[in-house]
Structure 1
Amino acid sequence: MNQDRRSRLREAAAAVLAEAGGRGLTHRAVDAAAGVPVGTAKNYFPSRDALLRAVAEHCVEQYRAVAAALSGAGPGPSDRAGLATLLAALLRDASGPGRTRMLAYLELQTEAARRPWLAAILDPIGAADFAAHGRLLRAAGLPSGPAHARALTLALHGALWHLLSGAPATLAAAGLDDLDAFARDVLDCACPDLHEEAS
């Protein structure tokens, strides 16, 4: 099996899933996106479930690469303001350069609600986010217990759906029309500044 072609097909399948959604993920669409002869994707991934598995594995690899890059950059910002800046940057990436990757992942999450085997493949991504955000909170000198990490992670995860749909009224209602302010507000809610509250 040609591994380069397999990787190209996986990337094409992720792009198709992001652009056309679950219903648009067909072997023919993947062949067209990858620029290969009709029937090629089916030779590598014989069923639709095999296509979904391939995209899920691709997403997990991409997530690990992003996580490794962040880890390689050091422990993270050392204060609240720096962490808010990082979180806003991550949200901008998710709705900008990383949009295709994020849309594919969210489409997979929807499919996983009906496919336990797919949920199992994606599970490490979601679980790792809680631990990663806990580490970032600790590095910034903020409360970083499980409840704080949960509050931060769930707020960010919930924001992604609205951010990617881009509906203006919803973005404004959620505070996502200003990602810097949104990141600061989320941190303030997840980890209130006790000194400010007491004053």
Structure 2
Amino acid sequence: MNQDRRDRLRDAAVAVLSEAGGRGLTHRAVDAAAGVPLGTAKNYFPTREELLRAVAERCLEQYRELAARLAGAGPGPGDRAGLAALLAGLLRDTAGAGRPRVVAYMELQAEATRRPWLAALLDPIAAADFAAFGQLLAAAGLPAGPERARALTLALHGAVLHLLTGAPATLAAAGLDDLDAFARGLLDRVCPGPKEEGP
């Protein structure tokens, strides 16, 4: 099959799921969004399950591409300031260019509450975040035990939900109206400096 067309269909499926939700994700809607003849999406992804799987895989690819760009070469930023900048960049993407991908992923998670096979597909994707953020903490020279990685990951996941809705009062209450300050403060809480750790 044509890989370029397959990617075009997958990107269209991400956009459709983001804009129309789970009920709106149909082969016909994906064909229309991709600007291809009717029946094309069904040729590439014959069932709705395969269409959902394609969206999940594409969302993961896009997320990894973004993280790699922000991290640059190597395992990740080499200090606290660099890691804070990377985290702020990830959050900024959630509210900006990456919003369709993130909304589509949230829609997949909702679908997964009713589809065990989809929950099983998403499980390693979500679980990998905990290890990835632990590795980023270590690369930045910060304490990187499982509890710290867990706290950082869960805080970021929680922040994403508020960024997607963009309610100003909630963003201000959460400190998400200044993403650079939020990322620095989060790292200070998760990995306090020597003066903050106490005896």
Normalised by the size of structure 1, how large is the TM-score? 0.89
Runs of 4+ in 1 over 4 A off after TM superposition: 67-72
5 Å-filtered alignment, 1:65-144, equals 65-69=65-69, 73-144=73-144
Partner residue, 1:196: 196
Partner residue, 2:41: 41
Q: Structure 1: any 5+ residue segments left out of the alignment?
A: none
Q: Structure 2: any 5+ residue segments left out of the alignment?
A: none
Q: Which moved more, 1:64-73 or 1:47-56?
A: 64-73
* 1:16-51 Cα shifts (integer Å, max 9, x gaps): 111111121122211110111223223332332222
Normalised by the size of structure 2, how large is the TM-score? 0.89
Distance 1:124 1:65 in 2: 17
**Aligned-partner residue type, residue 13 of structure 1:** A
Change (3 A) 1:196 1:60: closer
Cα pair 1:60 1:122 within 8 Å, conserved: no
Measure how far apart 1:82 and its partner are.
Answer: 2.3
Distance 1:111 1:83 in 2: 32
**Aligned-partner residue type, residue 168 of structure 1:** P
Cα pair 1:63 1:125 within 8 Å, conserved: no
* 1:43-68 Cα shifts (integer Å, max 9, x gaps): 33233222212211222333343455
**Aligned-partner residue type, residue 87 of structure 1:** L
Partner residue, 1:13: 13
Q: Which moved more, 1:182-191 or 1:141-150?
A: 182-191
Matched, 1:173 2:173: yes
Q: Which moved more, 1:87-96 or 1:62-71?
A: 62-71
SS in 2 for 1:60: helix
Q: Which moved more, 1:101-110 or 1:188-197?
A: 188-197
Distance 1:12 1:143 in 2: 41
5 Å-filtered alignment, 1:141-160, equals 141-160=141-160
> Aligned pairs, how many?
199
- Over the aligned positions, Cα root-mean-square deviation in angstroms equals 2.0
5 Å-filtered alignment, 1:50-69, equals 50-69=50-69
Distance 1:63 1:16 in 2: 18
**Aligned-partner residue type, residue 77 of structure 1:** P
Matched, 1:4 2:8: no
SS in 2 for 1:192: coil
Distance 2:97 2:133 in 1: 21
Change (3 A) 1:177 1:49: same
Change (3 A) 1:173 1:71: closer
SS in 1 for 2:155: helix
Q: Which moved more, 1:151-160 or 1:104-113?
A: 104-113
Distance 1:6 1:52 in 2: 14
Distance 2:139 2:42 in 1: 47
